[in-house]
Structures are given as C-alpha cells and as structure tokens.
Structure 1
Amino acid sequence: MPQITVDHSATLTPSFDRAAFARDLHAATVEIAAARPEACKTQFRAAEHTAFGYEDGGHAVVHVTIGLLAGRTPEVKSELTAAVLELLKKHLAGLGADGLVLHASAEVRDLDPSYTKFER
C-alpha cells in the first residue's frame, strides 16, 4: 500500500518521464496521505490504441488510480487527486504542441478489506 496504477495511451510514452513522475507522486502520497515511502508502488500500463468519442486518433488518455488502506478522509483523497493532476501537467508539459489533446484523470479509492500482500 499504496497501490498505484497509471494507465496511459502509448503515444505519451516518448514525452512522459515516468520515473520522475513516480518519484514526485510517491512524495506527494507520503506528504498528503501519510504513506510510507517504501510502501509506494507504481505500475505503468501503456495502451496501444486509444479512442475518444467518435474520433480515432488525435487524443491521448492518462488515468491514475491510487489504492490506499481505508481511513483517509474525503478531503485527503481530494487533495491527493488534485496533486496527481498537477504532477501530470508538470510531467507532460511539452504535450499538445503537436495537436494531441490530453485527457487526464485521477482517483483515490480504498483498498478492499481483503487486501493482503507478501514480500520476499
């Protein structure tokens, strides 16, 4: 915990410094949601094809999901999603000059009580 997943259009890969984004996102999660730095885990998943409405092409999508153990207030969750969107703006700042429209979103959700893990 936290379990972070970043789903994004593959067209973003060349301009998305994922390592820097993850570092900044982990720092924000520690500061805002009181997570432990060593507990932050982020996976990036690039989608080869993205469709938007009736259009095929010209759009890119990125959605960040953060799963936290239950107990954070709605205010903390809102502050964290706002921070995620600001970090996406920062780390995708050069995007759009080529006419690509970016659709970015984020959500923070409680992990199910059945969540468990192990480490080796």
Structure 2
Amino acid sequence: MPQITVERSPHLDDVDWEEFALALHAVVVETAAARLEACKTRVLRTEDEVVGAERERHAVVNVSIALLAGRSDETKARLTEAVVELLREHVEPRDGLGLHLSAEVRDLDPSYRKAEV
C-alpha cells in the first residue's frame, strides 16, 4: 500500500515516467501519511485510445491510487488535486494534441493482502 497505477498514452513516450513516479511517491507520503517504502507504482502504456469521436489528437493519463481505508474524503480530494497538478508539471502540452489528465483515490477492498518475500 499504496498501490498506484498510471495509465498513459503512447503519445507521451518522451515523459520521464520514473521521475514522475518518484515525485508522486513524495506527494502521497506528504498528503496521505503513507510510508515511502510502501509506495508502488506501475506505469502502463495504453495501445488504443478514443476521445469522443476521435482516435487521434488526444493523449490520456489517468492515475489511480488505492490506499488502505481510513483517509478522509478531504484527504483523498487534496491528494487527487495534488496528483493532477504534478501531472501538469511533468506532462508538457503538445501542439495539436489535447491532454486529458486525471486522478482518483480509492480505498483498497478489505480483502487486500500483501506479502514481501
């Protein structure tokens, strides 16, 4: 915990996603009182994207953060706002390409278990 997934457009191959993940971990620690060593981020490159009626001219990034239950709605809202701002700092606008940046924070299901081996 936290389990973080970044789904991102192939139009954004030039972004340093490892640098973004490291910065994101710091934001999660500061905002949601998580432990740095517990933050795990996977960046997934999507293959096909459609926005409205268009297949091209758009890039999408969505960050999903799953935390153990117990954070207030206000904390989750502050975290999503901070993540979107961090995306704006790391993903530069491109001519002719609409950027769609989003984030969500949710509670892990009570069935969540982990093992470190």
| TM-score, scaled to structure 2 | 0.97
Amino acid at match of 1:106: A
Structure 1 gaps, min length 5: none
Q: Matched residues in 1 for 2:102 and 2:23: separation?
A: 17
Q: What secondary structure, in the 3-state scheme, does the structure 2 residue paired with 1:56 have?
A: coil
Corresponding residue of 2:102? 105
Aligned pair count reads: 117
By how many angstroms is 1:41 displaced? 0.2
Which whole-Å CA distance do the structure 1 matches of 2:13 and 2:66 have between them?
A: 23
Q: 1:38-68 CA distances to partner (integer Å, 9 max, x unpaired)?
A: 0000000111221111111000100000000
1:90 corresponds in structure 2 to: 89
Residues of 2 paired with 1:78 and 1:13: CA distance?
28
* Stretches of 4+ aligned residues off by more than 6 angstroms: none
Deviation, 1:10, is 1.1
Q: What is the TM-score of this pair, normalised by structure 1?
A: 0.95
Superposition deviation, residue 86 in structure 1 = 0.5
- 1-side partners of 2:71 and 2:107: how far apart? 8
Aligned-pair identity (%): 57
CA distance in 2, matches of 1:48, 1:10: 7
- Give 1:11's aligned residue: 11
RMSD between aligned alpha carbons? 0.8
Deviations 1:3-55 (A, max 9, x none): 000001111112x1111111111001000100000000000011122111111
Higher mean alpha-carbon deviation, 48-57 vs 36-45, is at 48-57
Output the CA distance in 1 between the equivalents of 2:6 and 2:55.
22
Q: 1:118 is matched by which residue type in structure 2?
A: A
* Secondary structure class of the residue paired with 2:71: coil
Is 1:36 paired with 2:38?
no
